[in-house]
Amino acid sequence: MEQLVPLLVALPLGAAFLIVMIAHAGPLKRLTTPLAVLAVLVNLLIAGRLLWAGALHVYVGGWGQGQTLGIELVCDGLSKLMLIVINFVALASIIFATQYMRRFTKVWLFDALFLLMTGAMSAVVLAGDMFNLFVFLEVAAIASYALVAFGCESEELEAAFKYLILGTVGSAFILLGVTILYSLTGHLNMAKISEALRTIGPDSPGVLLGGAAIIAGLALKAAMVPFHAWLPDAHPSAPAPISAMLSGVLIKASGVYALARVVFGVLGVSPYYANILIAMGLLSMVLGMFLAIGQWDFKRLLAYSSISQVGYVVLALGVAAEAMSRAAPDRTVAALCLFGGLFHLFNHATFKSLLFLASGSIEQQAHTRLLKEMGGLSRRMPVTSFCCRIGALSISGVPPFNGFFSKLIIIIALVLSGHNVLAAVGIGVAVGTLLMYIKVQRYVLEGEPSDAVAAAREAPAGMCIALVLLTIVCICAGLALVPLRDLLFTPAGEALLGALP
Protein backbone atom coordinates (compact mmCIF):
# COMPACT_ATOMS: atom_id res chain seq x y z
CA MET A 1 0.00 0.00 0.00
CA GLU A 2 2.85 2.39 0.81
CA GLN A 3 4.28 1.77 -2.62
CA LEU A 4 1.19 3.33 -4.18
CA VAL A 5 1.81 6.74 -2.65
CA PRO A 6 4.72 7.90 -4.88
CA LEU A 7 2.71 6.78 -7.92
CA LEU A 8 0.21 9.54 -7.21
CA VAL A 9 2.97 11.98 -8.15
CA ALA A 10 4.82 9.84 -10.69
CA LEU A 11 1.80 8.91 -12.78
CA PRO A 12 0.59 12.39 -13.81
CA LEU A 13 4.16 13.59 -14.32
CA GLY A 14 4.99 10.52 -16.41
CA ALA A 15 1.86 10.98 -18.50
CA ALA A 16 2.76 14.65 -19.00
CA PHE A 17 6.26 13.74 -20.25
CA LEU A 18 4.86 11.01 -22.48
CA ILE A 19 2.42 13.49 -24.00
CA VAL A 20 5.28 15.85 -24.84
CA MET A 21 7.18 12.94 -26.41
CA ILE A 22 4.34 11.72 -28.63
CA ALA A 23 2.96 15.15 -29.53
CA HIS A 24 5.01 15.35 -32.71
CA ALA A 25 4.67 11.71 -33.67
CA GLY A 26 2.06 11.70 -36.39
CA PRO A 27 -0.95 9.52 -35.58
CA LEU A 28 0.05 9.08 -31.94
CA LYS A 29 -0.76 12.70 -31.20
CA ARG A 30 -4.46 11.93 -31.18
CA LEU A 31 -3.82 9.91 -28.03
CA THR A 32 -2.71 12.85 -25.90
CA THR A 33 -6.11 13.81 -24.53
CA PRO A 34 -7.30 10.24 -23.81
CA LEU A 35 -3.96 9.64 -22.11
CA ALA A 36 -4.49 12.68 -19.89
CA VAL A 37 -8.01 11.57 -18.95
CA LEU A 38 -6.75 8.07 -18.21
CA ALA A 39 -3.89 9.31 -16.03
CA VAL A 40 -6.20 11.49 -13.93
CA LEU A 41 -8.76 8.70 -13.64
CA VAL A 42 -6.17 6.17 -12.44
CA ASN A 43 -4.84 8.76 -10.00
CA LEU A 44 -8.33 9.26 -8.60
CA LEU A 45 -8.75 5.50 -8.21
CA ILE A 46 -5.42 5.21 -6.37
CA ALA A 47 -6.40 8.13 -4.12
CA GLY A 48 -9.74 6.43 -3.44
CA ARG A 49 -8.01 3.14 -2.64
CA LEU A 50 -5.72 4.89 -0.15
CA LEU A 51 -8.72 6.14 1.82
CA TRP A 52 -9.00 2.79 3.49
CA ALA A 53 -5.34 2.62 4.45
CA GLY A 54 -4.10 4.19 7.67
CA ALA A 55 -1.71 7.13 7.80
CA LEU A 56 1.22 6.21 5.57
CA HIS A 57 4.77 7.55 5.84
CA VAL A 58 6.89 6.83 2.79
CA TYR A 59 10.62 7.52 2.83
CA VAL A 60 11.64 8.06 -0.78
CA GLY A 61 14.96 6.57 -1.83
CA GLY A 62 15.30 4.23 1.13
CA TRP A 63 16.09 6.89 3.73
CA GLY A 64 14.75 5.81 7.08
CA GLN A 65 12.68 7.44 9.74
CA GLY A 66 15.55 8.28 12.07
CA GLN A 67 17.57 10.14 9.46
CA THR A 68 17.54 13.88 9.01
CA LEU A 69 18.02 13.66 5.26
CA GLY A 70 15.70 12.31 2.63
CA ILE A 71 12.26 13.09 1.32
CA GLU A 72 9.29 11.95 3.34
CA LEU A 73 5.83 11.62 1.82
CA VAL A 74 3.05 11.74 4.40
CA CYS A 75 -0.34 10.41 3.42
CA ASP A 76 -2.56 11.12 6.41
CA GLY A 77 -6.24 12.02 6.62
CA LEU A 78 -5.82 15.60 5.41
CA SER A 79 -3.62 14.56 2.48
CA LYS A 80 -6.18 11.94 1.47
CA LEU A 81 -9.01 14.46 1.55
CA MET A 82 -7.00 16.85 -0.60
CA LEU A 83 -5.97 14.07 -3.00
CA ILE A 84 -9.61 13.13 -3.54
CA VAL A 85 -10.58 16.78 -4.09
CA ILE A 86 -7.68 17.51 -6.46
CA ASN A 87 -8.08 14.42 -8.58
CA PHE A 88 -11.86 14.58 -8.71
CA VAL A 89 -11.94 18.19 -9.86
CA ALA A 90 -9.08 17.42 -12.24
CA LEU A 91 -11.07 14.55 -13.73
CA ALA A 92 -14.14 16.71 -14.26
CA SER A 93 -12.01 19.50 -15.76
CA ILE A 94 -10.09 17.25 -18.14
CA ILE A 95 -13.31 15.55 -19.31
CA PHE A 96 -14.73 19.02 -19.94
CA ALA A 97 -11.53 20.03 -21.71
CA THR A 98 -11.70 17.18 -24.23
CA GLN A 99 -14.47 19.09 -26.01
CA TYR A 100 -13.84 22.63 -24.83
CA MET A 101 -10.20 22.80 -25.93
CA ARG A 102 -10.97 21.86 -29.55
CA ARG A 103 -10.96 25.50 -30.59
CA PHE A 104 -7.42 25.96 -29.30
CA THR A 105 -4.20 24.94 -31.03
CA LYS A 106 -1.54 22.88 -29.26
CA VAL A 107 -3.98 20.95 -27.11
CA TRP A 108 -1.18 18.51 -26.24
CA LEU A 109 0.64 21.34 -24.49
CA PHE A 110 -2.49 22.05 -22.48
CA ASP A 111 -2.78 18.37 -21.54
CA ALA A 112 0.86 18.17 -20.51
CA LEU A 113 0.72 21.34 -18.40
CA PHE A 114 -2.57 20.25 -16.87
CA LEU A 115 -1.10 16.93 -15.78
CA LEU A 116 2.03 18.66 -14.52
CA MET A 117 -0.15 20.92 -12.36
CA THR A 118 -2.24 18.00 -11.09
CA GLY A 119 0.81 15.92 -10.26
CA ALA A 120 2.53 18.82 -8.54
CA MET A 121 -0.56 19.56 -6.44
CA SER A 122 -0.75 15.90 -5.42
CA ALA A 123 2.89 16.16 -4.39
CA VAL A 124 2.23 19.37 -2.43
CA VAL A 125 -0.39 17.66 -0.29
CA LEU A 126 1.83 14.61 0.19
CA ALA A 127 4.99 16.53 1.10
CA GLY A 128 6.32 15.79 4.55
CA ASP A 129 9.14 18.28 4.45
CA MET A 130 9.16 22.01 3.93
CA PHE A 131 11.53 22.11 1.01
CA ASN A 132 9.65 19.53 -0.97
CA LEU A 133 6.48 21.52 -0.28
CA PHE A 134 8.15 24.63 -1.68
CA VAL A 135 9.48 22.84 -4.77
CA PHE A 136 6.13 21.41 -5.73
CA LEU A 137 4.33 24.67 -4.96
CA GLU A 138 6.64 26.15 -7.57
CA VAL A 139 6.05 23.36 -10.09
CA ALA A 140 2.29 23.76 -9.75
CA ALA A 141 2.58 27.54 -9.90
CA ILE A 142 4.79 27.57 -12.99
CA ALA A 143 2.43 25.21 -14.81
CA SER A 144 -0.45 27.47 -13.85
CA TYR A 145 1.31 30.63 -15.09
CA ALA A 146 1.69 29.00 -18.48
CA LEU A 147 -1.91 27.80 -18.45
CA VAL A 148 -3.28 31.24 -17.59
CA ALA A 149 -1.45 32.60 -20.63
CA PHE A 150 -2.62 29.70 -22.80
CA GLY A 151 -4.90 31.75 -25.04
CA CYS A 152 -2.02 34.17 -25.83
CA GLU A 153 -4.35 37.19 -26.13
CA SER A 154 -2.95 40.42 -24.74
CA GLU A 155 -5.35 40.39 -21.79
CA GLU A 156 -4.36 36.84 -20.88
CA LEU A 157 -0.66 37.56 -21.19
CA GLU A 158 -1.05 40.58 -18.95
CA ALA A 159 -2.93 38.56 -16.34
CA ALA A 160 -0.35 35.78 -16.51
CA PHE A 161 2.48 38.26 -16.11
CA LYS A 162 0.85 39.82 -13.07
CA TYR A 163 0.24 36.35 -11.65
CA LEU A 164 3.84 35.37 -12.42
CA ILE A 165 5.32 38.36 -10.62
CA LEU A 166 3.08 38.16 -7.56
CA GLY A 167 3.34 34.38 -7.42
CA THR A 168 7.11 34.59 -7.51
CA VAL A 169 7.08 37.16 -4.70
CA GLY A 170 4.96 34.72 -2.70
CA SER A 171 7.34 31.86 -3.44
CA ALA A 172 10.31 33.98 -2.44
CA PHE A 173 8.66 34.69 0.91
CA ILE A 174 7.97 31.00 1.44
CA LEU A 175 11.58 30.12 0.61
CA LEU A 176 12.78 32.83 3.00
CA GLY A 177 10.59 31.43 5.77
CA VAL A 178 11.75 27.87 5.12
CA THR A 179 15.37 29.04 5.19
CA ILE A 180 14.87 30.82 8.51
CA LEU A 181 13.22 27.76 10.07
CA TYR A 182 16.00 25.55 8.71
CA SER A 183 18.68 27.80 10.13
CA LEU A 184 16.97 27.79 13.52
CA THR A 185 16.29 24.07 13.78
CA GLY A 186 18.59 22.28 11.33
CA HIS A 187 15.68 20.29 9.98
CA LEU A 188 13.43 20.46 6.96
CA ASN A 189 11.11 17.63 7.92
CA MET A 190 7.87 19.13 9.22
CA ALA A 191 7.50 16.86 12.24
CA LYS A 192 11.14 17.43 13.22
CA ILE A 193 10.91 21.22 12.81
CA SER A 194 7.82 21.17 14.97
CA GLU A 195 9.62 19.18 17.68
CA ALA A 196 12.64 21.47 17.58
CA LEU A 197 10.48 24.61 17.67
CA ARG A 198 8.87 23.44 20.89
CA THR A 199 12.25 23.61 22.62
CA ILE A 200 13.13 26.97 21.04
CA GLY A 201 9.74 28.40 21.97
CA PRO A 202 7.15 29.78 19.58
CA ASP A 203 7.66 33.36 20.79
CA SER A 204 11.32 33.72 19.85
CA PRO A 205 11.82 36.47 17.25
CA GLY A 206 13.41 34.18 14.66
CA VAL A 207 10.51 31.77 14.70
CA LEU A 208 8.01 34.61 14.41
CA LEU A 209 9.92 36.08 11.47
CA GLY A 210 10.04 32.73 9.70
CA GLY A 211 6.38 32.09 10.45
CA ALA A 212 5.40 35.55 9.21
CA ALA A 213 7.31 35.06 5.95
CA ILE A 214 5.76 31.66 5.28
CA ILE A 215 2.25 32.81 6.15
CA ALA A 216 2.59 35.90 3.94
CA GLY A 217 3.80 33.77 1.05
CA LEU A 218 1.09 31.17 1.44
CA ALA A 219 -1.59 33.84 1.90
CA LEU A 220 -0.48 35.24 -1.44
CA LYS A 221 -0.89 31.79 -2.99
CA ALA A 222 -4.32 31.47 -1.36
CA ALA A 223 -5.28 34.98 -2.58
CA MET A 224 -6.34 36.16 0.85
CA VAL A 225 -7.20 39.86 1.10
CA PRO A 226 -4.90 41.94 1.08
CA PHE A 227 -2.83 39.62 -1.13
CA HIS A 228 -5.60 38.98 -3.64
CA ALA A 229 -4.79 41.40 -6.45
CA TRP A 230 -3.65 38.75 -8.95
CA LEU A 231 -6.59 36.40 -8.65
CA PRO A 232 -9.42 38.36 -10.31
CA ASP A 233 -7.22 38.79 -13.39
CA ALA A 234 -5.60 35.37 -13.52
CA HIS A 235 -8.55 33.09 -12.90
CA PRO A 236 -10.97 34.51 -15.50
CA SER A 237 -8.26 34.78 -18.18
CA ALA A 238 -7.42 31.09 -18.22
CA PRO A 239 -9.43 28.62 -20.34
CA ALA A 240 -12.53 27.46 -18.39
CA PRO A 241 -11.19 24.04 -17.27
CA ILE A 242 -8.10 25.79 -15.93
CA SER A 243 -10.17 28.45 -14.16
CA ALA A 244 -12.00 25.56 -12.53
CA MET A 245 -8.73 23.96 -11.47
CA LEU A 246 -7.19 27.23 -10.26
CA SER A 247 -10.19 28.40 -8.29
CA GLY A 248 -11.35 24.93 -7.35
CA VAL A 249 -8.15 23.35 -6.13
CA LEU A 250 -4.93 25.28 -6.77
CA ILE A 251 -5.58 28.08 -4.30
CA LYS A 252 -6.61 25.42 -1.79
CA ALA A 253 -3.78 22.95 -2.28
CA SER A 254 -1.03 25.53 -2.47
CA GLY A 255 -2.64 28.11 -0.21
CA VAL A 256 -5.16 26.91 2.33
CA TYR A 257 -3.86 23.36 2.74
CA ALA A 258 -0.29 24.56 3.09
CA LEU A 259 -1.38 27.27 5.59
CA ALA A 260 -3.22 24.68 7.67
CA ARG A 261 -0.33 22.24 7.51
CA VAL A 262 2.27 24.86 8.42
CA VAL A 263 0.29 26.49 11.23
CA PHE A 264 -0.91 23.27 12.83
CA GLY A 265 1.88 20.87 11.88
CA VAL A 266 5.02 22.98 11.92
CA LEU A 267 4.75 26.32 13.72
CA GLY A 268 2.27 25.10 16.29
CA VAL A 269 -0.86 27.07 17.11
CA SER A 270 -0.32 30.32 18.92
CA PRO A 271 -2.57 33.36 19.32
CA TYR A 272 -0.45 35.29 16.77
CA TYR A 273 -1.05 32.91 13.92
CA ALA A 274 -4.66 32.27 14.93
CA ASN A 275 -5.45 35.99 14.92
CA ILE A 276 -3.73 36.50 11.58
CA LEU A 277 -5.76 33.69 10.05
CA ILE A 278 -8.99 35.02 11.55
CA ALA A 279 -8.27 38.55 10.35
CA MET A 280 -7.37 37.45 6.82
CA GLY A 281 -10.34 35.12 6.61
CA LEU A 282 -12.73 37.81 7.78
CA LEU A 283 -11.34 40.46 5.43
CA SER A 284 -11.42 38.06 2.48
CA MET A 285 -14.99 36.99 3.19
CA VAL A 286 -16.38 40.51 3.46
CA LEU A 287 -14.32 42.32 0.82
CA GLY A 288 -14.49 39.42 -1.61
CA MET A 289 -18.27 39.43 -1.35
CA PHE A 290 -18.62 43.20 -1.88
CA LEU A 291 -16.20 43.16 -4.80
CA ALA A 292 -18.02 40.20 -6.36
CA ILE A 293 -21.48 41.76 -6.13
CA GLY A 294 -20.34 44.71 -8.25
CA GLN A 295 -18.97 42.62 -11.12
CA TRP A 296 -20.65 42.32 -14.50
CA ASP A 297 -18.14 39.89 -15.97
CA PHE A 298 -19.35 36.35 -15.17
CA LYS A 299 -15.95 34.75 -14.64
CA ARG A 300 -14.61 37.76 -12.74
CA LEU A 301 -17.58 37.58 -10.41
CA LEU A 302 -16.83 33.90 -9.79
CA ALA A 303 -13.18 34.73 -9.13
CA TYR A 304 -14.04 37.36 -6.51
CA SER A 305 -16.52 34.97 -4.99
CA SER A 306 -13.68 32.43 -4.62
CA ILE A 307 -11.80 34.92 -2.46
CA SER A 308 -14.89 35.31 -0.30
CA GLN A 309 -15.58 31.59 0.05
CA VAL A 310 -11.97 30.66 0.77
CA GLY A 311 -12.20 33.30 3.49
CA TYR A 312 -14.73 31.07 5.25
CA VAL A 313 -12.28 28.17 5.22
CA VAL A 314 -9.39 30.26 6.52
CA LEU A 315 -11.64 31.81 9.17
CA ALA A 316 -12.65 28.34 10.37
CA LEU A 317 -8.99 27.27 10.46
CA GLY A 318 -8.11 30.40 12.39
CA VAL A 319 -10.84 29.87 14.96
CA ALA A 320 -9.77 26.23 15.34
CA ALA A 321 -6.21 27.41 15.96
CA GLU A 322 -7.50 29.99 18.42
CA ALA A 323 -9.51 27.36 20.31
CA MET A 324 -6.41 25.17 20.55
CA SER A 325 -4.14 28.01 21.65
CA ARG A 326 -6.19 28.94 24.70
CA ALA A 327 -4.90 28.15 28.18
CA ALA A 328 -7.44 25.31 28.27
CA PRO A 329 -7.52 24.00 24.68
CA ASP A 330 -11.03 23.25 23.51
CA ARG A 331 -10.50 20.25 21.28
CA THR A 332 -14.18 19.60 20.54
CA VAL A 333 -14.83 23.07 19.19
CA ALA A 334 -11.56 23.02 17.25
CA ALA A 335 -12.54 19.69 15.70
CA LEU A 336 -15.95 21.08 14.75
CA CYS A 337 -14.33 24.20 13.23
CA LEU A 338 -11.95 22.07 11.22
CA PHE A 339 -14.80 19.83 10.09
CA GLY A 340 -16.76 22.86 8.90
CA GLY A 341 -13.73 24.46 7.27
CA LEU A 342 -12.57 21.34 5.49
CA PHE A 343 -16.10 20.46 4.43
CA HIS A 344 -16.47 23.95 2.99
CA LEU A 345 -13.13 23.51 1.22
CA PHE A 346 -14.41 20.28 -0.35
CA ASN A 347 -17.74 21.88 -1.26
CA HIS A 348 -16.18 25.00 -2.67
CA ALA A 349 -13.95 22.86 -4.87
CA THR A 350 -17.01 21.14 -6.32
CA PHE A 351 -19.39 24.04 -6.83
CA LYS A 352 -16.84 26.63 -7.87
CA SER A 353 -15.35 24.33 -10.47
CA LEU A 354 -18.91 23.51 -11.56
CA LEU A 355 -19.70 27.20 -11.95
CA PHE A 356 -16.47 27.93 -13.81
CA LEU A 357 -17.05 25.01 -16.19
CA ALA A 358 -20.63 26.18 -16.74
CA SER A 359 -19.35 29.68 -17.43
CA GLY A 360 -17.02 28.14 -20.02
CA SER A 361 -19.93 26.38 -21.77
CA ILE A 362 -21.96 29.56 -21.70
CA GLU A 363 -19.10 31.69 -22.95
CA GLN A 364 -18.50 29.31 -25.82
CA GLN A 365 -22.15 29.49 -26.89
CA ALA A 366 -22.92 33.11 -26.10
CA HIS A 367 -19.50 34.50 -27.15
CA THR A 368 -19.57 36.90 -24.23
CA ARG A 369 -18.72 36.93 -20.55
CA LEU A 370 -20.75 40.00 -19.69
CA LEU A 371 -23.85 39.28 -17.65
CA LYS A 372 -25.86 42.09 -19.25
CA GLU A 373 -25.39 40.66 -22.72
CA MET A 374 -26.67 37.21 -21.79
CA GLY A 375 -30.12 36.10 -20.80
CA GLY A 376 -32.69 33.39 -21.30
CA LEU A 377 -30.15 30.61 -21.44
CA SER A 378 -32.27 28.27 -19.31
CA ARG A 379 -34.33 27.41 -22.39
CA ARG A 380 -31.46 27.27 -24.85
CA MET A 381 -29.03 25.27 -22.74
CA PRO A 382 -31.17 23.21 -20.33
CA VAL A 383 -28.48 20.87 -18.96
CA THR A 384 -25.84 23.56 -18.48
CA SER A 385 -28.40 25.89 -16.95
CA PHE A 386 -29.66 23.25 -14.55
CA CYS A 387 -26.12 22.48 -13.40
CA CYS A 388 -25.27 26.17 -13.16
CA ARG A 389 -28.38 26.74 -11.06
CA ILE A 390 -27.52 23.89 -8.69
CA GLY A 391 -24.00 25.28 -8.35
CA ALA A 392 -25.32 28.77 -7.66
CA LEU A 393 -27.78 27.47 -5.07
CA SER A 394 -25.07 25.40 -3.40
CA ILE A 395 -22.60 28.25 -3.12
CA SER A 396 -25.28 30.60 -1.80
CA GLY A 397 -25.99 28.18 1.01
CA VAL A 398 -29.52 27.13 0.13
CA PRO A 399 -30.63 23.91 1.80
CA PRO A 400 -30.39 20.98 1.07
CA PHE A 401 -27.26 21.49 -1.05
CA ASN A 402 -23.77 21.02 0.33
CA GLY A 403 -22.85 24.69 0.76
CA PHE A 404 -25.64 25.14 3.26
CA PHE A 405 -24.34 22.43 5.56
CA SER A 406 -20.74 23.55 5.54
CA LYS A 407 -21.65 27.19 6.21
CA LEU A 408 -24.05 26.08 8.94
CA ILE A 409 -21.37 23.99 10.62
CA ILE A 410 -18.86 26.83 10.43
CA ILE A 411 -21.35 29.29 11.93
CA ILE A 412 -22.35 26.87 14.71
CA ALA A 413 -18.68 26.29 15.49
CA LEU A 414 -18.08 30.06 15.59
CA VAL A 415 -20.93 30.49 18.07
CA LEU A 416 -19.72 27.59 20.21
CA SER A 417 -16.23 29.05 20.35
CA GLY A 418 -17.65 32.33 21.60
CA HIS A 419 -17.15 34.38 18.43
CA ASN A 420 -20.69 35.64 18.05
CA VAL A 421 -19.69 38.67 15.98
CA LEU A 422 -17.79 36.49 13.52
CA ALA A 423 -20.81 34.20 13.27
CA ALA A 424 -23.03 37.19 12.49
CA VAL A 425 -20.59 38.34 9.80
CA GLY A 426 -20.59 34.81 8.41
CA ILE A 427 -24.38 34.91 8.11
CA GLY A 428 -24.22 38.36 6.53
CA VAL A 429 -21.70 37.20 3.93
CA ALA A 430 -23.86 34.16 3.18
CA VAL A 431 -26.78 36.51 2.45
CA GLY A 432 -24.52 38.64 0.26
CA THR A 433 -23.42 35.52 -1.61
CA LEU A 434 -27.05 34.62 -2.19
CA LEU A 435 -27.65 38.11 -3.63
CA MET A 436 -24.68 37.80 -5.96
CA TYR A 437 -25.86 34.47 -7.32
CA ILE A 438 -29.44 35.66 -7.68
CA LYS A 439 -27.90 38.30 -9.93
CA VAL A 440 -26.13 35.57 -11.91
CA GLN A 441 -29.31 33.56 -12.33
CA ARG A 442 -31.37 36.62 -13.20
CA TYR A 443 -29.03 37.82 -15.92
CA VAL A 444 -27.68 34.54 -17.30
CA LEU A 445 -30.48 32.05 -17.03
CA GLU A 446 -33.71 34.04 -16.84
CA GLY A 447 -35.09 36.90 -18.86
CA GLU A 448 -35.43 37.35 -22.60
CA PRO A 449 -32.64 35.98 -24.80
CA SER A 450 -30.46 38.76 -26.15
CA ASP A 451 -29.12 38.91 -29.70
CA ALA A 452 -25.80 37.49 -28.55
CA VAL A 453 -27.32 34.26 -27.31
CA ALA A 454 -29.87 33.83 -30.11
CA ALA A 455 -27.79 31.09 -31.72
CA ALA A 456 -26.83 29.39 -28.44
CA ARG A 457 -27.25 25.64 -28.36
CA GLU A 458 -26.66 23.03 -25.68
CA ALA A 459 -22.98 22.29 -25.04
CA PRO A 460 -21.50 19.03 -26.44
CA ALA A 461 -21.99 15.82 -24.46
CA GLY A 462 -18.48 15.66 -23.01
CA MET A 463 -18.84 19.07 -21.42
CA CYS A 464 -22.28 18.19 -20.04
CA ILE A 465 -20.95 14.96 -18.51
CA ALA A 466 -18.36 16.91 -16.54
CA LEU A 467 -21.01 19.37 -15.33
CA VAL A 468 -23.41 16.59 -14.33
CA LEU A 469 -20.63 14.77 -12.48
CA LEU A 470 -19.96 17.81 -10.31
CA THR A 471 -23.67 18.53 -9.88
CA ILE A 472 -24.25 15.04 -8.50
CA VAL A 473 -21.54 15.62 -5.91
CA CYS A 474 -23.06 19.02 -5.01
CA ILE A 475 -26.43 17.39 -4.38
CA CYS A 476 -25.16 14.25 -2.68
CA ALA A 477 -22.42 15.72 -0.48
CA GLY A 478 -25.00 17.61 1.58
CA LEU A 479 -27.19 14.55 2.01
CA ALA A 480 -24.33 12.15 2.67
CA LEU A 481 -22.92 14.42 5.35
CA VAL A 482 -22.45 11.81 8.08
CA PRO A 483 -20.71 9.07 6.04
CA LEU A 484 -18.48 11.69 4.42
CA ARG A 485 -17.60 13.10 7.82
CA ASP A 486 -16.56 9.69 9.12
CA LEU A 487 -14.67 8.78 5.96
CA LEU A 488 -12.96 12.03 5.02
CA PHE A 489 -13.29 14.94 7.38
CA THR A 490 -12.79 13.48 10.85
CA PRO A 491 -9.48 11.80 9.87
CA ALA A 492 -8.43 15.04 8.16
CA GLY A 493 -9.18 17.12 11.25
CA GLU A 494 -7.48 14.54 13.45
CA ALA A 495 -4.38 14.75 11.24
CA LEU A 496 -4.16 18.48 12.00
CA LEU A 497 -5.05 18.31 15.68
CA GLY A 498 -2.93 15.19 16.26
CA ALA A 499 0.20 17.11 15.28
CA LEU A 500 -0.30 19.45 18.25
CA PRO A 501 1.11 18.53 21.65
Partner 1 sequence: MSQPGMTIIVKNTTRIIAGFIALFGVYIALTGHLSPGGGFAGGVILAAAAVLVVLAFGSGFAGRIVNEPKCHIWDGTGAMGFLVVALCGYITGGFFVNFIPIGTAHHLLSGGMIPLANLAILLKVGAGLAGAFVALSAFKYGRPRSIRRVGREL
Q: Does 28 bind partner 1 (CB under 8 A)?
A: no
Q: Does 3 bind partner 1 (CB under 8 A)?
A: yes
Q: State whether the Cα torsion 416-421-426-428 is positive or negative.
A: positive
Q: Which of 38, 51, 58, 416 binds partner 1 (CB under 8 A)?
A: 58
Q: Does 23 bind partner 1 (CB under 8 A)?
A: yes
Phi and psi at 127, nearest 5°, equal -65, 135
CA distances from 351 to 16, 18, 85, 271, 471 (A): 27, 32, 12, 32, 8
Q: Does 53 bind partner 1 (CB under 8 A)?
A: no
Judged by CB under 8 A, how many residues of this single chain contact partner 1? 18
Q: Does 18 bind partner 1 (CB under 8 A)?
A: yes
CB of 245 to partner 1, least distance (A): 21
Q: Does 17 bind partner 1 (CB under 8 A)?
A: yes
- Would you give the binding string for partner 1 spanning residues 433-452, x where CB under 8 A is met? --------------------
The number of angstroms, rounded, from the C-alpha of 386 to the middle of its chain's C-alpha atoms is 24
Q: Where are the beta strands (DSSP E) in 325-450?
A: none
CB of 246 to partner 1, least distance (A): 24
Q: State the CB neighbour count (10 A cutoff) for residue 155.
A: 11
Q: Does 135 bind partner 1 (CB under 8 A)?
A: no
CB of 113 to partner 1, least distance (A): 13
Cα atoms found within 13 Å of the Cα of residue 424, Cβ hemisphere only: 4
> In this complex, which beta carbon is closest to partner 1, that of residue 14 or of residue 48?
14
> In this complex, which beta carbon is closest to partner 1, that of residue 118 or of residue 364?
118
Q: Does 26 bind partner 1 (CB under 8 A)?
A: no
Residues with Cβ < 8 Å from 203, sequence gap 6 or more? 270
CB of 423 to partner 1, least distance (A): 46
Q: Which of 26, 27, 62, 483 binds partner 1 (CB under 8 A)?
A: 62
d(CA 316, CA 323): 10
> In this complex, which beta carbon is closest to partner 1, that of residue 3 or of residue 105?
3
> In this complex, which beta carbon is closest to partner 1, that of residue 24 or of residue 457?
24
Q: Does 48 bind partner 1 (CB under 8 A)?
A: no
Q: Which of 14, 151, 329, 498 binds partner 1 (CB under 8 A)?
A: 14
Buried b (16+ CB within 10 A) or exposed e, 131-144: ebbbbbbbbbbbbb
Q: State the CB neighbour count (10 A cutoff) for residue 482.
A: 8
Q: State the CB neighbour count (10 A cutoff) for residue 470.
A: 31
d(CA 122, CA 87): 8
Q: Does 6 bind partner 1 (CB under 8 A)?
A: yes
Q: Does 125 bind partner 1 (CB under 8 A)?
A: no
Overall size of the chain counted in residues: 501
Binding site for partner 1 (CB under 8 A): 2-3, 6, 10, 13-14, 17-21, 23-24, 58-62
